[in-house]
Amino acid sequence: MQEDGLLDLDRLRDSLRPDTTVVSVMHVNNEIGVIQDITAIGNLCRERGIVFHVDAAQSTGKVAIDLAKLPVDLMSFSAHKTYGPKGMGALFVRRKPRVRIEAQIHGGGHERGFRSGTLPTHQIVGMGEAFRLARLEMAVENDRIRMLRDRLWSGLSTMDEVFLNGHLEHRVPHNLNVSFAFVEGESLIMAIKEIAVSSGSACTSASLEPSYVLRALGRSDELAHSSIRFSLGRFTTEADVDFTVQLLRDKVGRLREMSPLWEMFQDGIDLNTVQWAAH
Amino acid sequence: MAYSEKVIDHYENPRNVGAFGRDEAGVGTGMVGAPACGDVMKLQIKVDESGVITDARFKTYGCGSAIASSSLVTEWVKGKTLDQAMTIRNTEIAEELALPPVKIHCSILAEDAIKAAVEDYRHRLSASDQTA
């Protein structure tokens, strides 16, 4: 992993072994929104006869996906990340070159034996309709959301000691992951209860550990503890963004006034030289 | 995180936020925790000549319950002697604030902060006695 959140292709190439069977990559990362180069990764796998699986849960409706061209063998999709119903997903399985997978759910032999069980027709229709709308609106919607994202980042980035996590260009416009140094993420979320944001991922919200994604980018634990993920979407307006910027400016300022780390930073103390009592 | 009304009250209206000068006479400063763990508390006490804590200030980097725990102890130590302040237990803090189990460490940190502040005050007092 590089500092910008993109996979280091040279390191990936070096770590592929003769007995490597599968490479599995998230198309778009759920915490920092960066888009991996799945064409390049897929080509590396093809040359070596390795099966390539892509988790596209976060990318549908945000990044164009043409499976006729992409060197991808398996791709998973989820309906609810693209305004579809919860509890519905799909797996693309390439026929040529053929990928052989084994069923994990057995029974009546539904879906060509891949996954037995009665099909939830309403969920399937809901997912299909959500994806149809996403495809129709994606180009226009992405431009609109990119403008909002840029407006949000230009409002936040002029504050002191604020850092963007993940590459600015190679990311979906819907995500902005920001570290507000010297302010702890959970206390910040409590302070901005008018808006819904998240620190880390939903998968780890019950844990006190800092985000392993941000740690993998080389962020310090302190900055990882100080990060907030903003998500923009179909229903976000310019007024919402302006409100958010003002709210963050107020509350980050308030919390920094009560942060001993901010005080030390203002006094010119390098926090890395302090002997902390770990607990 | 589902917090009690007391935690939310202390978080939204923290008592005694601020700082005394570290070198001011009668001040003891305790700083506990680490940024990497997500909590750092700085607690300061002001002690009069009879050994009674007359005032307290805090600054905390941490979650809502860390801020609430430190805010609460600034209220509790005021008017207590140093020895009385040293008897405040984390269990009392956790009970008063109804902290969720995953946040008990915040109350432990607040107890540690009191001890560190009292020790710092005593250390500085004996150092100034020796030089006097």
Separation in Å, CA B4 to CA A85, A137, B18, B99: 33, 44, 24, 7
| Residues in chain A closer than 8 A to B29 (CB atoms) | none
A84: pLDDT strictly greater than 60: yes
pTM, two decimals, is 0.89
pLDDT score recorded for residue B36 = 84
Average pLDDT in chain A: 92
User: Residue A204: what pLDDT?
Assistant: 47
In the numeric block, which tokens belong to residue A236? Answer: 């976000």
CA distance A223 to chain B (A): 9
Please calculate the CA angle A174-A180-A185 and round it to the nearest 5 degrees: 85
Neighbours of A201 (CB within 10 A): 15
Q: Which residue has the higher pLDDT, B12 or B126?
A: B12
By a Cβ cutoff of 8 Å, what residues of chain B touch chain A? 1, 8, 11, 14, 17, 19, 31-42, 58-64, 66-67, 102, 105, 108-109, 112
Q: Interior CA angle at A4 toward A47 and A190, to 5°?
A: 130
* Closest chain B C-alpha to A279 CA, distance in angstroms: 6
Q: With contact defined as beta carbons under 8 Å apart, do A53 and A22 qualify?
A: yes
pLDDT for A210 equals: 78
Q: Does the pLDDT at position B25 exceed 50?
A: yes
Query: CA dist A213 to A3, A8, A30, B10, B75, Å?
Result: 11, 15, 9, 32, 39
Kindly give the residue spans of alpha helices, DSSP state H, lying in A85-184: 121-156
Q: Is the ipTM of this complex over 0.85?
A: yes
pLDDT tens per residue across span A206-223: 456 778 888 888 888 888
Q: Do A276 and B34 touch (CB under 8 A)?
A: yes
pLDDT band at A1 (very low <50, low <70, confident <90, very high): confident
Two tokens, residue A240: 């919402």
Mean pLDDT value of segment A222-243 = 94
Using N-to-C axis directions, what is the helix angle for B5-12 and B90-97, rounded to 10°? 100
Q: What value does the mean pLDDT of chain B take?
A: 93
pLDDT over 90 percentage in chain B: 82
Question: Does the structure show a pLDDT above 80 at A279?
Answer: no
Chain A nearest-CA residue for B109 = A279
B22 against B26, higher pLDDT: B26
Which amino acid, B5? E
> Where do we find the tokens 């009304």?
B5
- Inter-residue long-range contacts of A72-80, CB under 8 Å, 24+ positions, other chains counted: A72/A38, A72/A42, A73/A45, A73/A97, A73/A99, A74/A99, A74/A101, A77/A127, A77/A131, A79/A123, A79/A126, A79/A127, A79/A130, A79/A131
Given CA atoms B37, B39, B44, B50 in this order, what sign does their dihedral have? negative
What is the average per-residue pLDDT within A60-88? 96
Element spanning B10, H or E: helix B5-12
**Contact A248/B at CB under 8 A:** no
In angstroms, the separation between the Cα of residue A188 and the nearest Cα of chain B is 8
Positions of B annotated as catalytic residues are: 37, 106
- DSSP for residue A159: S
Q: What percent of chain A has a predicted confidence (pLDDT) above 70?
A: 96
User: What pLDDT sits at residue A205?
Assistant: 47
Given CB atoms, is A206 within the 8 Å cutoff of chain B?
yes
Query: Residue B131: its pLDDT value, please?
Result: 67
Alpha helices in chain A (DSSP H): 9-15, 38-48, 121-156, 185-191, 212-216, 221-225, 238-257, 260-266
The tokens for A264 are 């030390």
| Helix/strand/coil for A169 | coil
pLDDT of B83 higher than 60 = yes
Q: CB of A221 within 8 Å of any CB in chain B?
A: yes
Rg (CA), chain A: 21
Question: Which residues from chain A sit within 8 angstroms of residue B71, using beta carbons?
Answer: none
Q: Which two tokens stand for residue A123?
A: 């969920």
Give the model's pLDDT for residue B18.
96
Cβ of residue A18 closer than 8 Å to a chain B Cβ: no
Question: Measured between CB atoms, does A271 come within 8 Å of chain B?
Answer: yes
Between A and B, how many CB-CB pairs are < 8 A? 81
pLDDT in tens, B35-80: 888 899 999 999 999 999 999 999 999 999 999 999 999 999 999 9
The residue assigned the tokens 């050994």 is: B51
| Residue of B11, B12, B63 for testing the chain A interface, max A β-carbons within 10 Å | B63
Best of A180, A183, A187 to substitute, by most chain B Cβ atoms within 10 angstroms, is A187
pLDDT attached to residue A275: 82
Q: How is residue B57 written in tokens? A: 């200030």
Could you say which of A203, A208, A274, A277 is catalytic? A203
Considering only CB atoms, which chain A residues are within 8 Å of B57?
none
- Residues in chain A closer than 8 A to B36 (CB atoms): 220-222, 225, 276, 278
- Closest by Cβ to A258, choosing from B14, B32, B112: B14
A161 in contact with B at a CB cutoff of 8 Å?
Answer: no
**Which of A187, A271, A278 minimises the CB distance to B67?**
A187
Q: Model confidence over A145-201: pLDDT tens digits?
A: 999 999 999 999 999 999 999 998 999 999 999 999 999 998 999 999 999 998 765
pLDDT number for residue B104: 92
